[in-house]
Amino acid sequence: MQHVLFVCLGNICRSPMAEAIFNDLVEKRQLTDKFTAISVATSPEEEGNHPHPGALKTMRAHGLDASQHRSRPITAADFEWADTIITMDHSNVANLQRMAPSAADRDKVKLCLDILPGREGDAIDDPWYTHKFELTYQELAAALPAWLDALNQ
Ligand code: 4NP
């Protein structure tokens, strides 16, 4: 089983959206025996909170339900559990590289849009600030099938 960990700052917008989109893809491709994804925060700020209403509304518009999710901060056990850690922006990468218990864990940390030709180095901007939840969805929906293809080699 490959374990994919999605991480953003608050774990109420981007990473729970990524988790729901990725796990839906895994189900649709009948790969549930090979892949599983969860999501966590770099910050404890939103711990226990459900996804942002804008994230829930956007996910519902695309037929996905992320309402059961609750935010929690990353732990050392999450670094250990993960095979791949997919993050949304450069501050997520920097925070995780600082927090990683080992060099091997640091090497797991990837920037989500790096998988898309022409989008390398781009951030998925925080919709908590931009309110562009649909743009977040579209960026994730473009990148995550490419991640699943790349990891399913
Ligand atoms: P996320 O969005 O990292 O995509 O979940 C944010 C949610 C909450 C905060 C920042 C970003 N916050 O500062 O509380």
Instruction: Note the pLDDT tens digit of each residue in 4-19.
Output: 999 999 999 999 999 9
Q: In this structure, are residues 43 and 126 in contact, taking their beta carbons and an 8 Å threshold?
A: no
Question: pTM for this one?
Answer: 0.98
Please indicate whether residue 14 is annotated as part of the active site: yes
pLDDT tens sequence across 58-111: 999 999 999 999 999 999 999 999 999 999 999 999 999 999 999 999 999 999
Residue 83 Cα to ligand 1 middle (Å): 24
Q: List the structure tokens of 130.
A: 């931009």
Mutate-to-test residue for ligand 1 from 13, 40, 47, 89, highest number of ligand atoms within 8 A of CB = 13
Going by C-beta distance under 8 Å and a sequence separation of 6 or more, which residues neighbour residue 103?
A: none
Number of H helices, E strands in the chain: 7, 4
The domain segmentation of the chain, as residue ranges, is: 2-148
Q: In this structure, are residues 6 and 83 in contact, taking their beta carbons and an 8 Å threshold?
A: no
> What pLDDT, on the 0 to 100 scale, is given for residue 71?
98
Going by C-beta distance under 8 Å and a sequence separation of 6 or more, which residues neighbour residue 28?
A: none
Residue 45 Cα to ligand 1 middle (Å): 8
Residue with the smallest CA separation from ligand 1 atom 7 is 10
**CATH 3.30.300.30 for domain 2-148:** no
pLDDT tens sequence across 113-131: 999 999 999 999 999 999 9
Mutate-to-test residue for ligand 1 from 45, 70, 74, highest number of ligand atoms within 8 A of CB = 45
Q: Helix (H, G, I), strand (E, B), or coil: what is residue 74? A: coil
- The one-letter code for the residue type at 9 is L
Q: From residue 4, how far is each of 13, 58, 79, 131 by CA, in Å?
A: 17, 22, 10, 26
Q: Which of 53, 55, 54 is nearest to 6 (CA)?
A: 55
